[in-house]
Structures are given as structure tokens and as C-alpha cells.
Amino acid sequence: MAFTFDDLQEGLQESRKHFLKHLEGVKEDQWDWKPYAECKSLRDTLVHLVVDDRAALSVLDNPGEPDYEGMLAAVTAEAGGDLTRLRSLLDASHANLVAGLRTRFSDAPLDTLVPAYGTPMKMGRAIAYISSEDFYHAGQVAFIRQATDPEWDYYATIYGGMEVTAPAE
């Protein structure tokens, strides 16, 4: 069976699930820890991903650079420092992004040009690029967790107990 938009959308959803798995069991003192001032904390990373989701959706209607600073200020204000609220914003922003992409492109060829990150690119590449944000930031979360809790078992937490199934043909 040919690779389709549905495969890309599933990949986008799975990349976010992979990221979120890294947050399970984060301790209170880990949310704002940074190895040095220029790094993002875990809390900052969640805000950043909400902004990324919103920006990716925004450029579909308004090609060009989105107002990242304005979006950052808005998300920060909406969350108000509350992790539960921030997590809800993250879930909602990703659901809106996935739904927006589905509405616009579910029947489009994968090589349809779409505005993404300041330049037109093929939809298949753009959606994969969006997914890469989740994987990149999962690594940041893993680093912070390992640096602040040497007993945290990354492989058991993230990969242990995973059921492996063969892909459908």
C-alpha cells in the first residue's frame, strides 16, 4: 500500500506521544531546572511546543513568518505558570494542528507545496519536519531528567514494555 497523508498524520500524532512519554513522572524540581541560563527548562519547552503548533497552523492561512514573540507572550499568559493548564494548551494546540492539516490536505498529493517555516516545501516533508520538533525536545527532556535524577532509567521508562507489532500491509 502506498504511503499516504494518513501515515503522515499518524506519525505526527505518534511523535507527540513519544515526547509526552518523557514527561511521565517528572518531579516538581525538574520543571524549571536548566543546565545553564540559555537552555529551555521543561516548562519552557512545553510553552515552545504550543507556540510551534500554533505557528505551523497559522502559516497555512498567512504564509510568512508568524509573530513568534506575540505567540510566546500569549501562551505564557494563558498558562499563567500552571502546569496543568499548560499541558491542556499543549494537547489542544496539537489537536488543532492535526485537525487543521487534515481539513486542508487529507486529499492532497504528498508533494503539494505548503508554507512551512518561512519557505514553501512539499507537504510530506513539512509534516515530517513538524514531527522532528517532538523528537528533538524529547531529547532535551531526557537530558534534564538524567542530569537531575541519575537513577531515572531512560530505556525502561521510554521503551520498556512497548508492544511491538508488524505494520499493516
CA 58 to chain centre: 15
- Does position 7 have pLDDT exceeding 80, yes or no? yes
- Average pLDDT over all residues of the chain: 93
Do 32 and 43 contact (CB within 8 A), yes or no? yes
Helix (H) or strand (E) holding 44: helix 42-61
The whole-number pLDDT of residue 118 equals 76
Question: 29-51, pLDDT tens digit by residue?
Answer: 999 999 999 999 999 999 999 99
Q: Give SS3 for 74.
A: helix
Ramachandran bin of 161, using left for φ above 0, alpha for ψ from -120 to 50, beta for the remaining angles: left
Q: Give SS3 for 67.
A: coil
Q: What domains lie within the chain, and their CATH numbers?
A: 5-158 (1.20.120.450)
The whole-number pLDDT of residue 117 equals 77
- Does position 162 have pLDDT exceeding 60, yes or no? no
Between 12-16, 32-36, 118-122, 146-150, the lowest mean confidence (pLDDT) is in 118-122
Cell (9 digits) for 60: 497555512
Q: Residues 141-145: what's their mean pLDDT? A: 97
Four-residue CA torsion sign, 149, 151, 155, 161: negative
The whole-number pLDDT of residue 53 equals 97
Distance, first Cα to last Cα, the chain: 6
Do 54 and 71 contact (CB within 8 A), yes or no? yes
The whole-number pLDDT of residue 130 equals 94
In percent, how much of the chain has pLDDT > 90?
85
Q: Which of 74, 42, 81, 29 is nearest to 55 (CA)?
A: 74
The whole-number pLDDT of residue 121 equals 92
pLDDT band at 54 (very low <50, low <70, confident <90, very high): very high
Do 144 and 42 contact (CB within 8 A), yes or no? yes
Residues found in the chain: 169
Question: 78-130, pLDDT tens digit by residue?
Answer: 999 999 999 999 999 999 999 999 999 999 999 999 988 778 999 999 999 99
pLDDT band at 59 (very low <50, low <70, confident <90, very high): very high
